[in-house]
Amino acid sequence: MEELKAQEQKALEAASLLPEEERPLIHSILELQKHRDQVYSEYLSELRQLENKYEEKYCEIYSERAQLLWNKERYWLTVLKNNELSSSFVYPQDEELLKYLADIKYYSDPQVDSFTLQFEFRENPFMHNSVLEKKYTLGKPSKAQGTEIQWKEAQTLEGGFFKYFESRVKKAVDSDEDMDEENLLAQEDFELGTELRDEIIPNSVLYYLKDF
């Protein structure tokens, strides 16, 4: 909503530069625009409530799926490799650890514009963590905060999929040409996070069966 307020202020400043005889009409139109923005804010609030309601229903289904799949090796590895976007993050050296990936889930914060991805692993010879998380907070700037991986002795996996758990900050820029390397990495990070939330987690079995 801060963005809408900024737009309103910018429009008022622009209207003040109009010829004096035109200002009353445009100010009336701006009042209507302000009313429209208020209605839009109400819509977004109700939409979020509706999304939260159905997210709870989805989570119940995903929990049942997780119970069935808990001891199924390579399920999520296959899913990630069969999605066009996530496959580009999976390197050959990642596969031995990713076969221990037991579940991927997400949950949203109903109060703020953020969501968290949670990766649950079975006991494995590579790392001490049983859960890795990536929390996305949208704003200016947007932030992606990852779990620090506690590697077991001599088992560090450099680069590849597990580099995804590094924290990133995505700064607002006017165009793609203004992006530096860190912002490009953050952009890719956010794209993967959104793909996991909106496509891979809901439709995992369809990706698992893609090669059959």
User: What value does the CA radius of gyration of the chain take, rounded to a whole number of Å?
Assistant: 22
Instruction: Determine the 3-state secondary structure of 99 from DSSP.
Output: coil
DSSP 148: P
Secondary element (H or E) of residue 96: helix 95-98
Between CA 55 and CA 12 the distance in angstroms is 39
Q: Name the token pair of 185.
A: 């990495």
pLDDT, tens digit, 9 for 90 and up, residues 25-64: 998 999 999 999 999 999 988 998 898 899 999 999 999 9
DSSP 201: T
pLDDT, tens digit, 9 for 90 and up, residues 65-90: 999 999 999 999 999 999 999 999 99
Between CA 64 and CA 62 the distance in angstroms is 5
Torsion angles phi and psi, residue 131, rounded to 5: -135, 135
Q: Name the token pair of 64.
A: 């049942």
Q: Is the pTM of this model over 0.85?
A: no
